[in-house]
Structure 1
């Protein structure tokens, strides 16, 4: 029997949110890489020059996240969602009709702004509002769809580019973004299940009211000098600044005298690990708690880096690359759960966008920083070593942040 806290609509909202995230991040961030080589060769420019438009997308996505809270209060969720989908998809389609790199940069920025209006911050807000029990599972399922979309559509668009050209592929991508996001636009639901006479899934009336969904945040008990906030901000930036190592694994393979095919397998293994560990983390955090699950994830990622640095057996390197996929779990799944754990739902809608901004900037810079580390040293060892240092620092910082969390106070 359906009840206000256990209703089919909870899972339907989760389903349309998964498709929405596949559109906003899965296509715009995880598939766009297949365009780098064909477009750059056709326009006779460096790959990095064209890839810069994707970096601008990441930066603009991070920036718009800072303004999501005031926008949602002023215009409402469905208007923001529709605007974001239109801006992201139309700017992607427009890329088919230009060969000027500055236009690609402009359109890339607009695409990031649009995607930011219906990706990380709104998705995590929906999951936090609609799920109390099994929140970790719901969060991991929804965020894993970015990796699933990347794995499914990357070969499809590669084939489409080869058969019909990159221009038609950009048009197809823009249209697909609309199709994937359309259920979230058309399906009737709100950010707050209470607006529909429902409660968060598994809602427990015995919990303190501070745990319950708050429509608008009260900032009287929060300061940006809060130690927990500062530490989580630092952890978000430093952790995502090493995520770019994944895209350099083909180069890492070649630098170790392995074939290009092995490099491609390593990258595929990372993407499989990306999906797998996101799914595992959600259920694990529901049982062990988000702090223990996050620490375990950081330890596993550190172990994968040590393996990549020291092992030579191809099969073990592939396993290490798979294990390195844990790097994507912290910013996508753990960070929103940690925000709720440390600050509660009352402050979530304002704090998480700032933490998401920190993670977004780190991710945007990561591929460039890792590349420069190799350019200046002739090896990826420096990037791997810095990553290990970050892990050694971030694990104790996480426990310190827990001690100073507002909810504990």
Structure 2
């Protein structure tokens, strides 16, 4: 858990959560609109969706330390190369392409694969603790990156971020990355195995079979709208707050507080997923996101935004671990990388439109208010899909397509 915590902390913090910090400086330096800069995340979403099935297959077949090292190199060199860009198209290539390869190679697929392999009875808690690193990265790294940008300038700041990522992750990968407990004579949940170590069962699901299951589509319609809401709010929040007259550092503290409660929610909702009805726990996460958006619309003061941050943070924090738990619960750990790799392209359209749509509405209306209002409809879609999803006590077997 500790290893996947750090890996996701660095990758998600520097690539995803800090993008809101990058938005204004890059738009000013490259002399373009926020909408044009936000298209970088759409390109990133397309790249992630296109390569995710291949990355998932490689993680199922190739030595995990090699894959993680390659991903770290892509992330580190991509971030450092950001210091050299002069045109918007270069931003799309470097960040939307190269950095995206590092992101997909270091976050959901390898982290959840390791946790699905290593944990069974306490899988929800394990995924919650691991993904605590995702949310806490916003609480820690958004203020740090903001300070680096203000102190060193954005070009030097990108070099520092990329170098730090490589120096921290590569040694950890070669010290701690072990794909399955059977490789070191253990069983899931850390118990000693009475049998000799053996290789895991072969993956039973194909990409095409996954696309033919109703469960995968319903999970997509639950998680996708939540991801859209998270991206729309978190990544526009620094600009939204500063447009209201709140200082840059205070705006970063709103994002940080959102992330702190998102981190807490990952552990709390992960524990609840081990003990309560899984659909009820997912519904709770969606409800808190809706309430957070409503509070954000009703409160435009710094103090009011802090209250909204607490509520929205608790809702958004559960989305990532609950997504992984739903997939592992429905399909089993042997098929997990294939199913997750298939599901990521299905989620791509939500990430593709999230921030660009939000900033397009801003460009048209001069405010983020209508963009936030529209999120309510997406959350209604997620609730309807959740109501239709049959949560299973045993993983779905190959051939059960309905």
Same fold by TM-score greater than 0.5: yes
Pairs within 5 Å for 1:260-409 = 260-261=246-247, 266-310=254-298, 315-376=303-364, 380=368, 382-402=370-390, 407=395
Q: Which residue of 1 aligns with 2:100?
A: 112
CA contact (8 A) 1:300 1:323 kept: yes
- Which residue number in structure 1 is paired with residue 170 of structure 2? 182
- Matched residue of 1:383: which SS? helix
Mapped partners of 1:83, 1:342: distance in 2: 30
Alignment-derived partner of residue 126 in structure 2: 138
CA contact (8 A) 2:116 2:333 kept: yes
Which residue pairs with 2:203 in the alignment? 217
Equivalent residue, structure 2, for 1:4: none
- Displacement of 1:91 in angstroms is 1.8
Structure 1 counterpart of 2:54: 67
3-state SS of paired residue (2:17): coil
**Aligned equivalents of 2:36, 2:338: Cα separation in 1:** 35
Aligned partner of 2:75 in structure 1 is: 88
Shift of 1:136: 1.5
Answer whether contact 1:213 1:345 (CA < 8 A) is retained. Answer: no
2:125 and 2:58 map into 1 onto residues whose CA distance is 28
Matches of 1:314 and 1:171 in 2, distance apart? 32
Instruction: Quote the Cα distance in structure 2 between the aligned partners of 1:341 and 1:174.
Output: 36
State the match for 1:129 in structure 2: 117
The answer to whether the Cα contact below 8 Å between 1:24 and 1:116 also exists between their aligned partners in 2 is no
Residues 27-76 of structure 1: CA distance to partner in whole angstroms, max 9, x if unpaired?
Answer: 12222433333344334333443443344334323332221232224432
Larger displacement relative to structure 2 (131-140 or 221-230): 221-230
**SS of 2:83's equivalent?**
helix
Structure 2 counterpart of 1:3:
none
Distance of 1:158 and 1:314 partners within structure 2: 18
Question: After the TM superposition, which of the residue ranges 299-308 and 244-253 deviates more from structure 2?
Answer: 244-253
Deviation at 1:266, TM superposition (A): 4.1
Of the candidates 141, 145, 149, which is equivalent to residue 153 of structure 1? 141
Look up the SS of the partner of 1:346 in the other structure: coil
Q: Tell me the CA shift for residue 395 of structure 1.
A: 2.4
Q: Which residue of 2 aligns with 1:36?
A: 23
Query: Equivalents in 2 of 1:403, 1:156: separation in Å?
Result: 41
Instruction: Give 1:381 shift.
Output: 5.1
- Partner of 2:2 in structure 1? 15
- 1:297-316 Cα shifts (integer Å, max 9, x gaps): 11222222333344678645
Distance 1:22 1:335 in 2: 18
Q: 1:237 aligns with which of 224, 227, 233?
A: 224
Q: 47-56 vs 123-132, which deviates more?
A: 47-56
Question: Does residue 1:100 correspond to 2:87, yes or no?
Answer: yes
Partners in 2 of 1:320 and 1:230 — Cα distance?
A: 31
What's the CA shift for 1:121? Answer: 0.9
Bigger drift between 151-160 and 140-149 goes to 151-160
Q: CA deviation at 1:120?
A: 1.0
Indicate if the aligned counterparts of 1:64 and 1:117 stay in contact, CA closer than 8 A: no
Distance 1:247 1:20, change over 3 A: closer
Are 2:66 and 1:79 equivalent residues in the alignment? Answer: yes
Question: Structure 1: which 4+ aligned runs deviate by more than 6 Å?
Answer: none
1:190-205 mapped onto 2 (5 Å cutoff):
190-201=178-189
Q: Answer with 164-173 or 50-59: which moved more.
A: 50-59
Unmatched runs of 5 consecutive residues or more in structure 2 = none
Query: Could you say which residue in structure 2 is the equivalent of 1:209?
Result: none
Taking structure 1 as the reference length, the TM-score comes to 0.83
Q: Aligned runs of 1:245-260 on 2, under 5 Å? A: 245-249=233-237, 258-260=244-246
Aligned residue number for residue 57 of structure 1: 44
Secondary structure at the counterpart of residue 189 of structure 2: coil
